[in-house]
Structure 1
């Protein structure tokens, strides 16, 4: 093997390690909550929910701005900075002496993940010929999906030792990738452009945090309390200001031009709602298995595993189905199956443990839906965009995913904040199902999606080379 081929192969490996560990760390902490409660006995469920939400919020707010910073400063530099920060902060999270310290450094870990994500896609695209860059995007998306699917089973295995191992596992992977990446990754050309909107980043993160806090703490504070009313007002005002600023800033944290494409806007709505359902599912299932059925964290992780396996199996043919039947139909089918899994659990699960007859069918049905809908969500969020805007569209969809996940966890934390009895868990499973159905309807409204016509072909030049499907 020539040195260039070796360097290219190592570069791809390093990039995909970064994608994998950042995706895993989004969900892996959920399954460690029972173990964390043993270390922090005074912590409430809503307090523990911030271990996931803090990561998701900073990750979401920084995704698009970090991509612009990577373009200005060099993708290799930003990727390695993000990877180094992510790895170093993982060590601090593993040694956290209190929940407050853990939440603070999880937010910082989200910063590292956000620095890695867009720069990783840019670096990966640079390693493929232009006509093969669709393969690069598919590889990048698939590894992220595998990381998300593997998070719960892997987290259960590690948490059985100690919850701190869910962070320790990042250290050898991140360190090895960092050292190899310094040698193998090539510097990318920098581009001139406006400075990312730092104020917009702060306002968006604070606004989402206020909304999440309002939902998560509303039950314990009282929905009519001054804290809830005040945070609701802060969140609403902040989001309104973010939209207003996005319309005026040259490098906004949210790009109105991307969301002005109807299909892309609907795709992001679908993504946000679906991952709200995923967040609700991820938090409620492990807590049900450990608190209602009394199973160990390891056993709970193994019982959850068939769902991710089914998702992985169905994700590949789903892409083929989407081409043949349209993302709107496949997406609706996937969302409906995922919702059916939640409805099954809500109707069938009771206090008597019965994995094979009661839990497993819902897990497999939901996993099939998860696998079917993922390619449809990715297609709806990007296929209507011209090739040069696909990376930005992917970043926008990732932002919607993180915000949806944080909201889903917050809603379930609020539902289970009192006494996490059987009726509360049934409500959580119905929230999972309802969010998925809204996602499916949003995808169905997208209709058939066609790729934009290539630039320079003369087709649809009056529409910036987009087909009518992209602009309607």
Structure 2
């Protein structure tokens, strides 16, 4: 007896089914946690360094500080494409659920540190790397899970919420790090444990595979050349920011040059390999889609600008503006996060709204307008004096947050809607790679520009200022030769470097009470650094505005959002029966158990694209 054909398959995702909201809630929590941990440590670093008894300004400890900041982003940038590809092969939900478990396990190990000093820092860096592996598994597959679960007309809204959670987590982490570290530095890792356990269990119980799998092979040579090449390039940035051979930065370090050259060669070899292997790690053919290529290029430029701006604003607030307004150095990390809340608020409002509008108006106009507004906010910040009025600053960073939200959601929707369903995992990973690589590169680019600006005048300014307050010339010269990167990180860590560096020499004890008060007060160092810092700011913000303009051009070149291309496979040989355009726009072609009947591609649709070559969602 022949069994009747199945009418309900595991890939069923009705538009009204509550499963899509379950997927949205779980993946939103996942990307929020992953992004939160990328920034929560940034504010909590002073408490962490005190907790493991590590002097943040000791020359050899700058590397620990850099790796605490960049290690997490580096790992995510390298792995997201690989784990996205694994999701396409073995199931996106399976890889995603495993990522939740890995992330939670690493958070447990981070919440206690049995060592002190450098060993304690290495413990944290190592487990942060494992935590980033879990975060990569979450972020690489979350957008693909949502794209599978949501119908086309709601996809922009869902991806917008997801993207807002990811970038919002970066900014909320700044405040959360200050609040939690004020209680206990381990609390910045404890917070992940109960949340991670709950959502791990919930994900295993509720999420299901809703799309077919691409049963290919793992491209080992592609994975190796890509992973090692990108890692070498990003690691070189950490060496480039550290002083070397009497220079303020390490870009003359042969090791840094060798890592960059070797990394770029491996990345070039990766492209050659991907063109020749039968089962490539990434589908280079995806770059034939204008929306995919130019969307990722625009996203990379915005990511570099946004990541660099975040660090610069924190240093500006913590190191100069807040001390000048009477805030104690120990309190500046927390208040810097609070004063940056308008940036987060603007983004949280604009992100979902722009995602909703992109489903109706299209992605190109919103994303392009967001990039232009993003650049305009940089120009406004560039015109501010160092000791600005807060309300104009709040307006400008609110505009910046709104611009980021206007760009992020439509851009992600356009990218994900331009690829076939079976490659959404790897496409999501590639999108995340561009974003995370941009954030990591932004640290090197913006800090290098800032350090170059400070190096021209800070040593002389600092030395002269110390001598005017009675500090002996040899001590003032020694402090003045402090690498500018140390001064920047001192400001970021809420440390008064003048007091910190004069105490070991005993110079403070030989000064008058008035001189001691002036040197250790909240205004001496910020006043000295204001002039050199402003010169660096102008360069940094001008570069950010240029990046935003390039992003706007790339976004404009993406063209009208096309239908998602077919995945090559057995179905391509089926007979193609054209559907009249007049009926295709209103009534979908009837589904049968026989030959598929594709609808013509829509080039003028304002939605995020269609999924062809796959069973359409049931309605």
Structure 2 length-normalised TM: 0.66
Higher helix residue share: 1
Counterpart contact for 1:27–1:282, Cα < 8 Å:
no
Matching of residues 59-208 of structure 1 within 5 Å = 59-96=76-113, 97=115, 98-124=120-146, 136-186=158-208, 191=213, 193-208=215-230
Name the CA shift for 1:7/1:361 in 2 (closer, same or farther; >3 Å).
closer
Distance apart, 1:397 and its partner CA: 1.4
Matching of residues 8-407 of structure 1 within 5 Å = 13-39=25-51, 40-41=54-55, 42=58, 47-96=64-113, 97=115, 98-124=120-146, 136-186=158-208, 191=213, 193-219=215-241, 220-221=243-244, 222-293=250-321, 294=323, 295=327, 296-319=332-355, 322=358, 327-350=363-386, 352=387, 354-357=389-392, 359-407=393-441
3-state DSSP of counterpart to 1:194: coil
Asked which structure has the greater CA Rg, the reply is 2
Distance apart, 1:349 and its partner CA: 3.6
Instruction: Give the alignment partner of residue 544 of structure 2, picking from 432, 439, 447.
Output: 432
Name the CA shift for 1:129/1:92 in 2 (closer, same or farther; >3 Å).
same
Distance apart, 1:331 and its partner CA: 2.3
Rounded Cα–Cα distance in structure 2 between residues aligned with 1:321 and 1:9: 19
Name the CA shift for 1:193/1:389 in 2 (closer, same or farther; >3 Å).
closer
Rounded Cα–Cα distance in structure 2 between residues aligned with 1:434 and 1:134: 28
Distance apart, 1:170 and its partner CA: 0.8
Name the CA shift for 1:239/1:314 in 2 (closer, same or farther; >3 Å).
same
Rounded Cα–Cα distance in structure 2 between residues aligned with 1:320 and 1:133: 9
Counterpart contact for 1:273–1:438, Cα < 8 Å:
yes
Provide the residue aligned with 1:442 in structure 2.
554
After superposition, the C-alpha distances for 1:294-322 in whole angstroms (9 at most, x for unaligned) are 35111111101101101122223334655
Distance apart, 1:64 and its partner CA: 2.9
Counterpart contact for 1:30–1:282, Cα < 8 Å:
no
Rounded Cα–Cα distance in structure 2 between residues aligned with 1:14 and 1:199: 34
Does 2:442 align with 1:408?
A: yes
Counterpart contact for 2:211–2:422, Cα < 8 Å:
no
3-state DSSP of counterpart to 1:29: helix
Instruction: Give the alignment partner of residue 458 of structure 1, picking from 575, 578, 599.
Output: 578
Distance apart, 1:260 and its partner CA: 2.1
Name the CA shift for 1:327/1:74 in 2 (closer, same or farther; >3 Å).
closer
Counterpart contact for 1:74–1:188, Cα < 8 Å:
no
Rounded Cα–Cα distance in structure 2 between residues aligned with 1:164 and 1:76: 31
Structure 1 length-normalised TM: 0.84
After superposition, the C-alpha distances for 1:220-272 in whole angstroms (9 at most, x for unaligned) are 23433312221121121121112112222344333201112223111111111
Rounded Cα–Cα distance in structure 2 between residues aligned with 1:126 and 1:223: 45
Counterpart contact for 1:213–1:410, Cα < 8 Å:
no
Distance apart, 1:121 and its partner CA: 4.4
Structure 1: 5+ residue stretches without partners = none
After superposition, the C-alpha distances for 1:342-379 in whole angstroms (9 at most, x for unaligned) are 333233141x364224x323211211211111123214
Counterpart contact for 1:211–1:231, Cα < 8 Å:
yes
Name the CA shift for 1:185/1:166 in 2 (closer, same or farther; >3 Å).
same
Rounded Cα–Cα distance in structure 2 between residues aligned with 1:207 and 1:382: 26
Counterpart contact for 2:297–2:551, Cα < 8 Å:
yes
Rounded Cα–Cα distance in structure 2 between residues aligned with 1:324 and 1:183: 34
3-state DSSP of counterpart to 1:28: helix
The more displaced of 155-164 and 283-292 is: 155-164
Name the CA shift for 1:242/1:136 in 2 (closer, same or farther; >3 Å).
same
Rounded Cα–Cα distance in structure 2 between residues aligned with 1:99 and 1:436: 36
Rounded Cα–Cα distance in structure 2 between residues aligned with 1:182 and 1:384: 29
Provide the residue aligned with 2:6 in structure 1.
none
Distance apart, 1:442 and its partner CA: 1.3
Distance apart, 1:285 and its partner CA: 1.4
Counterpart contact for 2:147–2:416, Cα < 8 Å:
no
Counterpart contact for 1:266–1:446, Cα < 8 Å:
yes
Counterpart contact for 1:274–1:439, Cα < 8 Å:
yes
Name the CA shift for 1:11/1:224 in 2 (closer, same or farther; >3 Å).
closer
Distance apart, 1:275 and its partner CA: 0.6
